[in-house]
Amino acid sequence: MRRTAWLLGVLALATCTSAACTSATPRSVTARSASPLVHLVGPSRCSAPGDRPDPVCTPGDVDPRVTQDSIASTICRRGYSSSVRPPEAVTHEIKVRLVAAYGLSGTPFARLELDHLVPLSLGGASDERNLWPEPRGGPSGAEAKDVVEVRLHDQVCSGAVELRVAQQAIARDWRTAP
């Protein structure tokens, strides 16, 4: 637990330099945002209607550093998502909490992906408000959403779709996103 808190602090310092990261509403995975979801909604209090996360537990969140004006130096830069993705040492604990909150404790971890509702490739935040245990496989599983994420990323980076429109569309319902 102590090592995890240290890793969370290091991660916050390494990836979070804007005022938004030190505000009362944290935007990234930090020591302050490590456990509010289960405290707020309690274990097994979230439900996944079909292939969508619970909108109360996982409303989605974006990184305020990623804007329409900054996409060339952020999401449209090769390697961006990897540079802001928290390490598994940090996300594993979050996945355990979210699996419990969604009542999926009996599901093997290999069948669930800790997914960003608004993906990192579209400026999504690594915050529990933007993460959920998404089932893998099938026509509406994690892999199918990944295809939509890539398409939207390409459309945003080519200028065909505005960043905010893509973020809102995928957060609302990725199956109907442009």
* 145: exposed, middle or buried (Cβ count in 10 Å: 0-12, 13-18, 19+): buried
State the pTM of this model: 0.76
Token pair of 144, please? 């199918």
Domain count, the chain: 1
Please name which of 154, 150, 146, 72 lies closest in space to residue 113, comparing C-alpha atoms: 146
pLDDT in tens, the chain (178 residues): 333 332 333 233 233 333 333 222 333 333 333 333 434 444 568 887 667 899 999 999 999 999 999 999 999 999 999 999 999 988 999 999 999 999 988 889 999 999 999 999 999 999 899 999 999 988 888 999 999 999 999 999 999 999 999 999 999 988 888 8
Range of the domain at 46: 2-176
